[in-house]
Amino acid sequence: MTLNGITTGTERVIIEDILDRNRQALIATARGLSEADARRRLVASLTTPISLLKHAAGAERIWFQRFWPGLDESECDGYSRRDEGTFAVADDESLADVIAEFERASQRSREIASRFSLDDTKDNPREGAVSMRWALLMLIQEFARHAGHGDILREQIAGVGAAYRS
């Protein structure tokens, strides 16, 4: 992989690389924050730097543990319901714990997604028939949006004029 990621190759390789870069961008928005700053509520919603990562881990499990292979909730490695519970971070969970959880969920997603072709489809009650291609692209969109949220929160935490490198 180059500094900017993979820019040539098969469609699958490029899609998976962009998804991985968005996963890393989301992690970068929170990495290095204090535990207190990671939990700071700066907006009316449940969105905090740490809860964005927790939510992303939940999204990984919803799509790549529950939906594609059809695992029961009890077979998943964490919260996997499609609701605001994906943002819930327990008091005893550290930022490092949640980053590690997201990384584990992402790795399991890679393993499960590799069993399907981009053209494989499955019916979803909310979206209708979706392909693996669509699911991967949807997570790219989801994580890019949340990395943007994380960037804004990080700027608010750091203060006006302060910058950080993601």
Q: What is the pLDDT of residue 164?
A: 54
Six-digit token pair at 53?
């990562």
Arithmetic mean of pLDDT, 124-134: 96
**pTM, whole model, 2 decimals?**
0.91
Q: How far apart are CA 86 and CA 106, in angstroms?
A: 15
Q: How large is the average pLDDT for residues 41-51?
A: 95
Q: Which amino acid is at 6?
A: I
**What average pLDDT does the structure give for the chain?**
93
Residues 6+ apart with CB under 8 A from 123: 129, 130
Domains and CATH numbers, the chain: 11-158 (1.20.120.450)
pLDDT at position 83 is 85
